[in-house]
Amino acid sequence: MHHFHYKNNKLYAEGVPLTEIAEAVGTPCYIYSQATLTHHFKVFDNAFSDVPHLTCYSVKANSNIALLKLFASLGGGVDVVSGGELFRALKADVSPKKIVFSGVGKTEDEIKMALEADILMFNVESEAELETIHEIASHLGKIAPIALRVNPDIDPKTHPYISTGLKKSKFGIDIKIAEQLYLKANHIPHIRVIGIDCHIGSQLTLLSPFLDALERIKLLYQKLEAQGLKLQYLDLGGGLGIPYGEEIPPHPTEYAQAIKAAAQDLNCTLIFEPGRVIVGNAGILLTKVLYLKQGKGKTFIIVDAAMNDLIRPSLYHAHHEIKPVEKMERPLVVADVVGPICETGDFFAQGRKMPLVQSGDLLAIMSAGAYGFVMSSNYNSRPRVAEVLVNGDRYQVIRKRECYEDLIRLEKIPEWMA
C-alpha cells in the first residue's frame, strides 16, 4: 500500500503532482510519502501491540534524519550498524534506550560512542568483539548491555548478497558455540547479558525461514534460562519483504500472528528491526527522459538518473516498476531504461515492455524508498540527488541536491603541486 496514485492521468504523491516537484526541485530526486511511512510503521508496530515489544527501525534502509524523527515520534527505536547511523539517530532525538547497535565490525570509537550515549544494547557478532566491548566499558567505568547475534544456519530463500543467516555468512555466532560464549559473557565484570539476537536476511517472502530460525533460538533461550541467565530481550531482526513486482510477501499482521504464537512461552520483550517493509514502497526515484536511442533490435530510453543514484537493479538485478508521470496514449515498446554512467551495468530495466516515452517525459521508478539514496554515490563525479518529503498537499526538501563544489569540498591539491 502506498500514496502514489494517478489523478486525471497525472501521478501524484499524496496531494502533490510529481510534475510540480520536478519543476521546483529538478530531477533526479527521491520523493517520500509521509502518510505511507506512518501507515506502514503503525501497521507493523500495532500488529504486536498485545505483547511487550520494541520496533527498532533499521536505519540502513533509509537514514534521512527526517524519517528517523518521524519514526521516533511514533514511539519507535532504531537499529544502527555504524557510528554515523548512531549519530544520525541521536540528532533525530531517538531515545538512546531504544537504540540497538548491530554489525560485524564495530570500531573502538563507535563502541565508546555507544557506551557514552547509554544505548539499549549491543548485538555482539564475535568473541573478539565481546572482549573489545568489555575492555572499553571497563576503561569508561561502565557496564555494557549485550545480546549475542546467533547465526541459526537457516536459508532465508533470498538473494545471496542479503542472506545473513547461513553458517557460511560473516554474520553472527554459530549457534553450536553460542551457549558456551553466553556462559562466558555472563561472568565478565563489565558485560551484562540481556538478550539474544538473530537476523537471517532481507527481502524474505516466506514465513517459514523466520519460524525455523525462531525455533532454534528458542531452544538456546530455554537452555540459557535453565542455567540461570535472565534474558530480557529476544531480537528477531528484520527482513520482511515487500512487493516490487509479482512477489506476495506475508502481511505484517500475518507475520506477527505467526511470531507471537511461536514465542508465546518466552517471558521477554520482543525486538524487531523492520526497514524495507516500512520505507520501501513509501519512496520513488523521479527521473527525466533525456534521449531515445534505437540500437540494433533494441530501444534504449536514456534518463538523467543513474546507477549511482539507485544501484539495486545493477547490483541485485532487482525489479522496480517504472511508471510514466503523465499517462498518454502511446504505443508499447520493449526497451532498456538506462542512465548516463559509463558502465554497461547502468540500467533500471532491461527488456521492459512500456509506453514509448519521449525526451522530456518524467518517469517514476517505484519502490525506491529502501536502499536507494543510502547506497548512492558520486561515481562519475555525479552530485547526489535531492530528497523530498510529501505530507498531504505540501512538500519540503529534506536533503538538498549536491553541487559541483560539494564534490571537491574535502579534497586538497598537495603544496608541492601548487
Give the pLDDT confidence of 157-189 residue by residue, as tens digits. Answer: 544 443 444 455 667 888 889 999 999 999 999
Mean pLDDT value across residues 394-418: 97
> What cell was used for 56?
527498532
Nearest to 157 by CA among 147, 166, 145: 166
Domains of the chain: 4-31+280-407 (2.40.37.10), 103-272 (3.20.20.10)
Q: Is 343 annotated as a binding residue?
A: yes
Q: Is 383 annotated as a binding residue?
A: no
Q: Is 382 annotated as a binding residue?
A: no
Assign 298 a pLDDT band (cuts: 50, 70, 90).
confident
Express each pLDDT in 51-100 by its tens digit.
999 999 999 999 999 999 999 999 999 999 999 999 999 999 999 999 99
Position 156 scores a pLDDT of: 54
- pLDDT, averaged across the chain: 93
The yes-or-no verdict on residue 198 having pLDDT over 50 is: yes
Catalytic residue among 29, 198, 268, 342: 342
The yes-or-no verdict on residue 373 having pLDDT over 60 is: yes
Position 159 scores a pLDDT of: 41
Position 249 scores a pLDDT of: 87
Q: Is 149 annotated as a binding residue?
A: no
Position 165 scores a pLDDT of: 41
Query: Of the given ranges (6-10, 168-172, 367-371), which has the lowest mean pLDDT?
Result: 168-172
Q: State yes or no: is 342 an active-site residue.
A: yes
Mean pLDDT value across residues 8-36: 98
Position 164 scores a pLDDT of: 44
Q: Is 371 annotated as a binding residue?
A: yes
Position 161 scores a pLDDT of: 41
pTM of the model: 0.94
Can you give the chain as a three-state secondary structure string? CCCEEEECCEEEECCEEHHHHHHHHCCCEEEEEHHHHHHHHHHHHHCCCCCCEEEEEEHHHCCCHHHHHHHHHCCCEEEECCHHHHHHHHHCCCCHHHEEECCCCCCHHHHHHHHHHCCCEEEECCHHHHHHHHHHHHHHCCCEEEEEEEECCCCCCCCHHHECCCCCCCCCEEHHHHHHHHHHHCCCCCEEEEEEECCCECCECCCHHHHHHHHHHHHHHHHHHHCCCCCCEEECCCCECCCCCCCCCCCHHHHHHHHHHHCCCCCCEEEECCCHHHHHHHEEEEEEEEEEEEECCEEEEEECCCCCCCCHHHHHCCCCCEEECECCCCCEEEEEEECCCCCCCCEEEEEEEEECCCCCCEEEECCCCCCCHHHCCCHHHCCCCEEEEEECCEEEEEECCCCHHHHCCCCCCCHHHC
Place of cell 524519517: 67
Mean pLDDT value across residues 252-269: 93
Mean pLDDT value across residues 193-212: 88
Alpha-carbon dihedral sign for residues 366, 280, 161, 402: positive
Q: Is 274 annotated as a binding residue?
A: yes
Position 166 scores a pLDDT of: 46
The yes-or-no verdict on residue 268 having pLDDT over 50 is: yes
Position 350 scores a pLDDT of: 96
